[in-house]
A = this chain, B = another copy of it.
């Protein structure tokens, strides 16, 4: 997908997930650096009902495959590092 287009589309995701993919509310997951395939699968499952969530079901309903690919490419393009507690 096209990460630049995905970044623009991510405006509808930023309230909960952030443009940077780090969750802004406790019940939302971080999606930064998730793999393209994982992100696409989750969005498609929310769209077709295999996975349900009151917000995500609505958000995903009208997404086209191209929009899903672009969004997934944007969030997958973000590098994440993990620092373990001492």
Contact = CB atoms under 8 A, between A and B. Distances in A.
Interface of A: 3, 19-23, 26-30, 32-38, 41, 50-52, 77-85
Nearest to A37: B26
Nearest to A34: B29
Taking the full assembly, how many copies of this chain does it contain?
A: 2
Contact of A27 (B38, B52, B79, B83): B38
Contact of A34 (B20, B30, B77): B30
A52 to B, nearest CB: 8
9 contacts: A20-B84, A22-B33, A26-B35, A28-B38, A29-B34, A30-B34, A32-B82, A78-B83, A78-B85
Contacts of A82: 20-22, 30, 32-33, 78-80
A72 to B, nearest CB: 12
